[in-house]
Amino acid sequence: MNIINKIENKHKEKYKKLLKSNKFIKKVSFLNKSRNNLYKDFYEILLKMKDNNISLKQEEIIQHLTIISIKDHKLLKLFNKINYENYNKDLKSFLNNLNTEVDLFISIKEESNIQLKNSIACLLGLACGDALGTTLEFTKNEQESLAQFGRGEVTERGSQEHHTDIIGGGVFKLKAGEWTDDTSMALCISKSLQEDGFSLKGQMDNYVKWMRHGYLSSNGRCFDIGVTTSNAIKQYLHLKNPKAGSKEIHHSGNGSIMRLAPIPIYFYQNINKTIQYSAESSLTTHGSPECIESCMLLGAILNLFINNINNESKKELIFNSNLESILNLKEQKVIQLLNGDSWLKLKYEELPNTGYVIDTLRSALWCLYYSNNFKEALTLAVNLCGDADTIGAVCGQLAGAYYGYDQIPNHWISIIKESTYIQKEAYSLFLKK
Ligand SMILES: [Mg+2]
């Protein structure tokens, strides 16, 4: 009953009506409740209000939420992180989102399953690298690069240095937190895995919806699609074969490694399946041997990072895990990625920033390997400029899976568009439900 005293007078009638119609609220006390119970009680009240057609505007709900939870500062802080601007005014949708968002904020931080936390961080890390890097994307020679690789091949670094926060802008003039094709395509794979299991057709159908209607995009539009990917999707629409990726060596762009995270998360219990399906996932849009084997290598390393419950070092995981025999690679340049020959001794200034799959992977591996934490890895990666968002997205997958959820800055978690949705996707992929 204390709730009644805490709300503004003008809304009392609404709550009185609620009280009359629902016995349950008499049991509710907001004192001495744990955060979880406090939240659940409030959620119940909102549902009852909805069932009884007591309408409150979204702003009013937030206001009451603040009033009611005022004694619980941790909870208040939690609610303040919610990105309300994405919610429409429909109460049902608001409640659904609130449910997901708050549950996740509470549960992931307190989660003890390291593999689950690493998995969520792997997908969220992809989005962070993408959103951080888009500011510096295509800083030079955009047209040449698109022609050559279907993505950005940039040979000179941009003038911006030390870009360290997610601020949007860039060539696509995005809002802070909006991400690009890398994350959209990853979410397309994730959605398909959950609906159909591993299905190239399902993945392709989602790519089509993304290309045509902005499905699973950060702002409702497909504003950034690589030429190789676009051609493959068009060919799929024409011939209906989902293995539509070009097999040409000069079409070895980074478009299939940038979106890989859902595969190693979904198959995290089995490294052989992870490698097999990582390779297959490339075939939809990038069918060259280097693209396929790069996906295999990245998938295998992500698998090891996700399962790193004994806190082994990067060096042990990458170089001492018998990956050579597990992967059985044929492509010389991918073998040089695996043994470090093509990147381990490079200086930062010597790292490539092109959209060529081998270049992107070796720069991402370098930035992960020589970083001390999640943010440093991503900052190193995107400040290479060039294909910054994708180098960031690949490094973000690695850094998220290796350093784990707790290292992702809270500010980034809250600013990433559809952050809750992304985390929920990873959660569902991991649990396969
Ligand atoms: Mg992109």
Domain ranges of the chain: 3-109, 114-431
Mean pLDDT of 144-159: 38
Which token pair is 205?
Answer: 């159908």
Give the pLDDT band (50/70/90) at residue 75.
Answer: very low
CA of 92 to the centre of ligand 1 (A): 33
- What is the rounded CA–CA span in Å between residue 354 and residue 65? 48
Helix (H) or strand (E) holding 231: helix 227-239
Of 12-21, 87-96, 218-227, which gets the smallest average pLDDT? 87-96
C-alpha torsion sign, points 145, 168, 123, 263:
negative
CA of 166 to the centre of ligand 1 (A): 14
**Percent of the chain predicted with pLDDT > 90:** 59
Of 258-262, 366-370, 415-419, which gets the smallest average pLDDT? 415-419
CA of 290 to the centre of ligand 1 (A): 20
Residue 40: predicted pLDDT: 55
Highest mean pLDDT among 112-121, 123-132, 169-178, 406-415: 123-132
CA of 300 to the centre of ligand 1 (A): 23
Of 108-112, 284-288, 322-326, which gets the smallest average pLDDT? 108-112
Residue 108: predicted pLDDT: 72
Mean pLDDT of 378-397: 96
- What is the rounded CA–CA span in Å between residue 389 and residue 374? 16
User: Between these two residues, 104 and 243, which has the higher pLDDT value?
Assistant: 243
The 10s digit of each residue's pLDDT in 21-65 is 433 333 333 333 344 455 555 555 555 555 555 555 545 555 555
Q: Mean pLDDT score of the chain, rounded to an integer? A: 80
Residue 137: predicted pLDDT: 86
Residue 320: predicted pLDDT: 82
Residue 162: predicted pLDDT: 73
CA of 268 to the centre of ligand 1 (A): 25
Give 114-431's CATH code, choosing from 1.10.4080.10, 1.10.287.110, 1.20.120.80, 3.40.50.1240: 1.10.4080.10
Residue 160: predicted pLDDT: 39
Residue 241: predicted pLDDT: 97
Give the pLDDT band (50/70/90) at residue 90.
Answer: very low
Residue 57: predicted pLDDT: 52
User: Between these two residues, 258 and 62, which has the higher pLDDT value?
Assistant: 258
CA of 388 to the centre of ligand 1 (A): 8
- What is the rounded CA–CA span in Å between residue 320 and residue 267? 21
Any idea what the Cα angle at residue 272 is, between residues 267 and 277, rounded to 5°? 60
DSSP of 110-140? H---HHHHHHHHHHHHHHHHHHHHGGGTT-S
User: Between these two residues, 43 and 404, which has the higher pLDDT value?
Assistant: 404
Residue 392: predicted pLDDT: 98
